[in-house]
Amino acid sequence: MIVVDDQRVVREGLVTLLGTLAGVEVVGAAADGAEAVELATRERPDVVLMDLRMPVMDGVEATRAVRQASPGSQVVVLTTYADDESVVSALQAGALGYLTKDAARHDIARALDAAASGQAILDAAVQARLLQALSLPATPGAGALPDGLTAREGEVLGLMAEGLSNAEIAARLYVSEATVKTHVNHIFAKTASRDRSQAVAYAHRQGLAR
């Protein structure tokens, strides 16, 4: 198997940990997604343990590229992030398992064994986020969103209309504050709003306020 993580101490720690598991042989480690694809193409591992947030090429893009370059290699994501965007993006890219970095040793071992057998395993927190994402209404209101707003942007706009700050929205949606800022900027552009007040007024006019 291959271990992929941009933090050296985490990467080396995982290699050491995995070396203690029966039936697991680590054939390489990569510091970013591009290295992971190169390694997977060369080594053809059964499983790739993949971080998501990395320089050069992130884990989602790397997962997609690994699955294309080495179809026999299954990808298990091991990351700090369990927000629905990260989960859905990774699974859509072809990841078979998804764990957070607070996973126990036996959870990692179980996920690797399952992936090697072609079976999917998701962390309990990840399952909850995925189910929540799948059960969310498409918009805060009914029908399609105006002006090309996405479902997530509509949700962020609804929370803005509730008076929540970016940090509070990030905590509510289990995403980073930087991700929220990106959504807010897109909202401003699509709704022709100069600031937050205009965006909130737009939300009320369009019936998007909660």
Looking at residue 169, which CATH number applies to its domain?
Answer: 1.10.10.10
Please tell me the total count of domains within the chain: 2
pLDDT level of residue 96 (50, 70, 90 thresholds): confident
Residues 115 and 141 in one domain: no
Contacts of 197 (CB under 8 A, 6+ apart): none
108 lies in the same domain as 193: no
Contact between 66 and 44 under an 8 Å Cβ cutoff? The reply is: no
pLDDT value at residue 138: 42
Could you give phi then psi for residue 122, rounded to 5 degrees? -120, 140
Overall average pLDDT of the 101-129 stretch = 82
* Percentage of the chain exceeding pLDDT 70: 90
Cite the DSSP H helix spans in the chain: 8-18, 33-43, 59-69, 84-93, 105-116, 124-135, 151-161, 166-173, 177-191, 196-205
Q: Give the per-residue pLDDT at 134.
A: 55
Residue-wise pLDDT for 67-86, tens only, equals: 999 999 999 999 887 776 77
210, part of any domain: no
Asked which of 45-54, 109-118, 123-132, 151-160 is least confident by mean pLDDT, the reply is: 123-132
Residue 122 and residue 45 share a domain: yes
Least confident of 34-38, 77-81, 127-131, 176-180: 127-131
**Which residues span the domain enclosing 40?**
2-132
Q: Which of 8-12, 76-80, 145-149 has the lowest mean pLDDT?
A: 145-149
Residue that is last in its domain, among 111, 132, 153: 132
Per-residue model confidence (pLDDT) at position 38: 96
Q: How far is CA 99 from the centre of its chain?
A: 11
| Res. 103 pLDDT band, cuts 50 70 90 | confident
If asked whether residues 120 and 61 sit together in one domain, one would say yes
pLDDT tens across 27-80, in order?
999 999 999 999 999 999 999 999 998 989 999 999 999 999 999 999 999 988
Q: Which residues, in sequence order, are CB contacts of 134 under 8 Å at separation 6+? A: none
90 and 10 assigned to the same domain: yes
Q: In terms of pTM, does the model score above 0.95?
A: no
Q: Average pLDDT, stretch 146-161?
A: 89
Domain membership of residue 41 (yes or no) is yes
Residue pair 77/95 in contact by the 8 Å Cβ criterion: yes
Cα angle 25-89-196, degrees, rounded to a multiple of 5: 140
Residue 15 lies in a domain: yes
Work out whether the CA dihedral 138, 144, 145, 150 comes out positive or negative: positive
Domain finish residue from 132, 166, 188: 132
| DSSP-assigned states of every residue in 173-210 | HTS-HHHHHHHHHHHHHHHT-SSHHHHHHHHHHTT---
pLDDT value of residue 142: 44
pLDDT band of 120, cuts 50, 70, 90: confident
We report the CATH number of the domain holding residue 68 as 3.40.50.2300
State the pLDDT at residue 128. 66
Find, among 131, 105, 4, the residue nearest to 59 by Cα. 4
153 Cβ neighbours under 8 A, 6+ residues apart: 145, 183, 186, 187, 190
